[in-house]
Chain A
Amino acid sequence: MRQIAYQRAGSVDEAVQAAAQPEAAFLAGGTSLVDLMKLEVLNPARVVDVTRLDLSRIEPRADGIRLGATATNSAVAAHPEVKRRFPALSQALLSGASPQLRNVATVAGNLMQRTRCAYYRDLATRCNKRSPGAGCDAIEGWTRMHAILGGSEQCIALHPSDMCVALAALEATIHVRGQRGERDIPFGDFHLLPGDHPEREFALEPGELVTWVFVPATAAAARSRYVKVRDRISYAFALASCATALEVANGRIRVARMALGGVGTKPWRSLEAERMLVGATPRAETFRRAADVALRDARPRRDNAFKVELAKRTMIRALTLSAEGA
């Protein structure tokens, strides 16, 4: 039998040290990690439980909000300041998973949840993310739930998180602590594109611990919206989703932020689409043009061509809602 060492970290330092050992993994809610361990997809030799660390606080500040790494998805979604100042974040969280899962899933765990690619999760198939260089059965397989943006010839696994889509649009930063100290990672840099190394998923050094996520408060953030389209009304991953944040002044868009989910190998932001929106009047045609731009580089596969149009419409819907709220 494979032995797995379990360690409950008493302090952040202890956690960082413990996780610097080979084949270690942090354990938060376990809803992604333990699931994949049961499927023998992730096989850490040591799990370092971080749930007892003093990292679960949600701290509103004047310039934004700090979300502790171990704050649960439920707690963040229900927090009055999150609902008031970052509605898209609350909406995104509530649209994900189920109440039971959200009650244990954490901010950091959600950031780092693994793809739901069915091939990644099935040892009987080839997967470059699971075993680098093995090949990919997904690309020519069942691709309905795969990425149309950001894929490579090695991997088109979809990034699954809803929360991350909102955080991408809200331009959060991720604060981490490692053996070499602390640092901030801009949200857009945290998730890596698969490229030739789909097994590398996050911009973290071995053993680096996410301690909190900071979300800056803006006028646009307060009117942010999240729209998610899925096969089942709840408890299903996104076919397409979109988080938008707009600030409108004198009938013109002053600030525009958006990110798409359900379409990319990471939460997908289109700076070009955002730029197009700025200065324009918030109208259906404006939104449609921006959506066309955001999806311009889409590379659909056999089963997911519909995502191009669906993502555009989802984006238009979210922009419309944001504009109405503005």
Chain B
Amino acid sequence: MKSVGKPLVRIDGRAKVTGEARYSYEVQVPGAAYAVLVTSGVARGRLVEIDTSAAEREPGVLAIITPRNAIRLPGKLHGEPPDRVVQALQDDRILFSNQPVAVAVADTLERATHAALLVRVRAEAEPPSIRVQDALDRAFPHDIVAGGRKQEPDSAHGDAARGMREADARIEQAYEVPPETHSPMEPHATIALWNAPDRVTLYDSSQWVFAVRNKIANAFAIPKENVHVMTKFVGGAFGCKGSPWSHVIIAALAAKQVGRPVKLVLTRQQMFGMVGGRPQTVQAVALGAKKDGQLAALRHESTSATSRFDVFVEAAALQARHIYACPNIETKHRVVRLDIGTPTFMRAPGESSGSFALESAMDELAHALALDPLALRLKNYAEIDPSEGKPFSSKSLRQCYTEGARRFGWDKRPAKPRSQTREGLLLGMGMATASYPANFSPASAVARMLPDGSAQVESGTIDLGTGTYTVMAQVAADALGLPYEKVRFDLGDSEMPEAPISAGSMTAASVGSAVLLTCGALREKLVQLAVADPASPLHGARTEEVRVEEGRLAAQGRSDTYADVVRRAGEKPIEVRSKAAPGEERKKYTNLAFGAQFAEVLVDPDLGSVRVSRMVGVFAPGRVLNARTARSQLMGGMVWGIGMALLEHSVYDEKLGRIMSRDLADYHVPGNADVGVVEPYFIEEQDEHVNPAGVKGVGELGLCGAAAAIANAVFNATGRRIRTLPITPDKLL
């Protein structure tokens, strides 16, 4: 009985809906004090004075910690990306609005909240700069860190300028994606508890406990082994919990300073600026093509915003290097420094924002050539990676296109824009290609067979709400030959074997591979024990002949069980630790997941409101570990695409340099009414090259191309090409 692939419900689902699951801030810590941040209203300047007297007089207040009295951190505050430069009350510079400038610590949350309000901050303010457009002349190239690898900001293959000159049709346009904020339901939260002057435990809402461990160890100059970090449940993250931000250090600092455990949670408003967001990108795309649609040149240049003190590059033009067969491809990434908090990876960083530009441009090209947009993509179908000349580890995009077009009814698309209506609304259809790197990073796991014949498997990875607990148990069950119910998978603890950041859609691939190999090794070990043990019915059998099913080891008509093997070996759990890491084999291929997005929209011709009535996405993500959780991830990505296309925007006040759409009433994400029919489908692939688990990851793929498909449908419906997201009614009047 195979478990992998089955649409099992999430093992933690019940605990979550009943409230039994404890999220980081909910962990009960005796004697805990509460910390509330005071953040800057100024975006750029210097603290002149912080008057804490009124706050300090309040009953229950333990400390008001400011740069003046905060303990000096003995170690290093930042490391290699994706670690970020943070502000932990160590100096008086103000680098962005909402930067922490003080923290109030009191015996209750209410008292700390009130004390924080009483802290009077006086700052010297300088005018901030917060728009990419205003700083283009200071743009500079910078290496990209994506999927755990460094990549060059620029690429050139062939001669794009010549390709453009020789083209019959040209599209040269600028596209813009505004700054966005992740806005997970669960706010960032940290509990810090010093067990000894050099030993600390943290419960943190994090995508990577090891990053938190390392950052704390470095900042406080204590050994890594002395930092214990746990994250059992995460209520959404999408990238903004991938790097430990200022508040994590501040929580630990405050706990040290007041000599009590400290709980710190950000308010919704504090999550706008301090914990990253998708940076604004201004992108230029140039496409040149022959009459028949054959691409002669593809140029994609992206300029994205970063902070004054750190660099994050939105890798918007990376995908242009790999997805269309074109002899002349040029890509460039530039960043500009602005007075904003450092942006970070936000679901499908680069691929989502970049695909909006590139796939909109492809639609524009199709229109210019009077070609069907899908036919244009097929015309330029890349059988091998056009830039690197390598084969793809696997690629089923053609099937995705065909299957998607059939399921969606692409043949009913009106070729002429603004030519079809439904109940008085303009109807339009659009499509786009989706692609996302099939990332794979080193990961490790431990697997134990217990005397009762059940297995315990652990890896220090995270379940972001995506189903890690569930799918890893499925992988382990099959690898061990156990029923799913007999496996317990645990995660979210820095004392477990090390796992990569749960981001970049690589948890299933990386940790899945580690679990697969580790459990395979455990199975192997148990089989060997059995055949070597004179007391086993399998004594003397060859290990290759032994089959394991449902915990029963069988060969030559004889059988043994895991439980008996462990018992006979001394009743102690039998343990194997192992890991998976990308090898040389993988480097021979370009490892990407692909998909095809189709969207139908209805637009009010007078009032400009857009409704996405239907989306069909067909994705080829390698092996599907759990049909339900994978589908949910893809669906969530597609729904996110609706938000990206129509709603999401962190709006800055340009004078104050402050995000003003700073709650969920002003920062719009889709509600149920915004989501019509959303249908994700898979084309499963057998991919032996991508990683041992054969998995490409689905967390981000569903968002890639989604905004472009919607924008293209809006064009088809209205004849209006909107190149700046989000597509709000005012843009269609």
Residues of chain A whose beta carbon lies under 8 Å from any beta carbon of chain B: 1-2, 40, 116, 118-119, 121-125, 137, 140-142, 144-145, 227, 229-237, 239, 306-307, 309-310, 313-314, 316-317
**Interchain CB contact (< 8 A) of B608 among A2, A40, A229, A316:** A229
Cα–Cα, bound, A266→B249 (Å): 46
Cα–Cα, bound, A280→B656 (Å): 49
Q: Are A144 and B651 neighbours in the complex by a CB distance under 8 Å?
A: yes
Q: Are B607 and A313 neighbours in the complex by a CB distance under 8 Å?
A: yes
- B661 close to chain A: CB less than 8 A: yes
Q: Are A239 and B655 neighbours in the complex by a CB distance under 8 Å?
A: no
Specify which chain A residues have a CB less than 8 angstroms from the CB of B58 in the assembled complex. Answer: 1
Specify which chain A residues have a CB less than 8 angstroms from the CB of B60 in the assembled complex. Answer: 1
Known: A125-B658, A306-B730. A232 touches B674 (CB 8 A): yes
Known: A142-B651, A309-B733. A118 touches B662 (CB 8 A): yes
Q: Are A140 and B658 neighbours in the complex by a CB distance under 8 Å?
A: no
Nearest residue, chain A, Cβ from B117: A40
- B129 close to chain A: CB less than 8 A: no
A234 to chain B, nearest CB (A): 4
Cα–Cα, bound, A233→B658 (Å): 27
**Interchain CB contact (< 8 A) of A124 among B608, B658, B733:** B658
Q: Are A140 and B606 neighbours in the complex by a CB distance under 8 Å?
A: no
**Interchain CB contact (< 8 A) of B673 among A118, A234, A239:** A234
- B579 close to chain A: CB less than 8 A: no
Cα–Cα, bound, A125→B608 (Å): 32
Q: Are B660 and A118 neighbours in the complex by a CB distance under 8 Å?
A: yes
Specify which chain B residues have a CB less than 8 angstroms from the CB of A141 in the assembled complex. Answer: 653-656, 660
The binding surface of chain B is classed by DSSP as: loop
Cα–Cα, bound, A265→B658 (Å): 24
Q: Are B655 and A317 neighbours in the complex by a CB distance under 8 Å?
A: no
Q: Are A124 and B41 neighbours in the complex by a CB distance under 8 Å?
A: yes
- B668 close to chain A: CB less than 8 A: yes
Q: Are B607 and A232 neighbours in the complex by a CB distance under 8 Å?
A: no
- B389 close to chain A: CB less than 8 A: no
B732 to chain A, nearest CB (A): 10
| Binary interface encoding of chain B residues 691-714 relative to chain A, with 1 for a CB under 8 A from any of its CBs, else 0 | 000000000000000000000000
Q: Are B656 and A231 neighbours in the complex by a CB distance under 8 Å?
A: no
**Interchain CB contact (< 8 A) of B733 among A142, A235, A310, A316:** A310
Specify which chain B residues have a CB less than 8 angstroms from the CB of A307 in the assembled complex. Answer: 730
10 A–B contact pairs at CB < 8 A?
A118-B660, A118-B662, A124-B41, A125-B656, A140-B655, A141-B656, A142-B652, A236-B665, A307-B730, A313-B733
Cα–Cα, bound, A137→B654 (Å): 11
Those 5 A-B pairs whose CB atoms lie nearest each other, nearest first:
A124-B41, A306-B730, A233-B673, A234-B673, A118-B660
Q: Are A232 and B656 neighbours in the complex by a CB distance under 8 Å?
A: no
A94 to chain B, nearest CB (A): 12
Nearest residue, chain B, Cβ from A144: B651
B445 to chain A, nearest CB (A): 42
Specify which chain A residues have a CB less than 8 angstroms from the CB of B111 in the assembled complex. Answer: 1
Q: Are A232 and B668 neighbours in the complex by a CB distance under 8 Å?
A: yes
A306 to chain B, nearest CB (A): 4
Specify which chain B residues have a CB less than 8 angstroms from the CB of A232 in the assembled complex. Answer: 646-647, 668, 670-671, 673-674
Cα–Cα, bound, A40→B113 (Å): 10
- B611 close to chain A: CB less than 8 A: yes
Nearest residue, chain A, Cβ from B653: A141
Known: A231-B647, A231-B729, A233-B671. A310 touches B608 (CB 8 A): yes
A6 to chain B, nearest CB (A): 15
Specify which chain B residues have a CB less than 8 angstroms from the CB of A1 in the assembled complex. Answer: 58-60, 110-111, 114
Specify which chain A residues have a CB less than 8 angstroms from the CB of B673 in the assembled complex. Answer: 232-235
Specify which chain B residues have a CB less than 8 angstroms from the CB of A234 in the assembled complex. Answer: 671-674
B730 to chain A, nearest CB (A): 4
A111 to chain B, nearest CB (A): 19
Specify which chain A residues have a CB less than 8 angstroms from the CB of B90 in the assembled complex. Answer: none
**Interchain CB contact (< 8 A) of A119 among B609, B660, B729:** B660
B506 to chain A, nearest CB (A): 32
Cα–Cα, bound, A118→B611 (Å): 26
- B666 close to chain A: CB less than 8 A: yes
Cα–Cα, bound, A209→B199 (Å): 59
Cα–Cα, bound, A198→B32 (Å): 43
Cα–Cα, bound, A137→B606 (Å): 33
Specify which chain A residues have a CB less than 8 angstroms from the CB of B671 in the assembled complex. Answer: 232-235
A163 to chain B, nearest CB (A): 17
B474-522 contacts to A (CB < 8 Å): none
Specify which chain B residues have a CB less than 8 angstroms from the CB of A230 in the assembled complex. Answer: 609, 729
Q: Are B730 and A239 neighbours in the complex by a CB distance under 8 Å?
A: yes
Most buried by A among B111, B663, B670: B663
Cα–Cα, bound, A142→B653 (Å): 6
Most buried by A among B607, B670, B672, B726: B607
Q: Are A231 and B728 neighbours in the complex by a CB distance under 8 Å?
A: yes
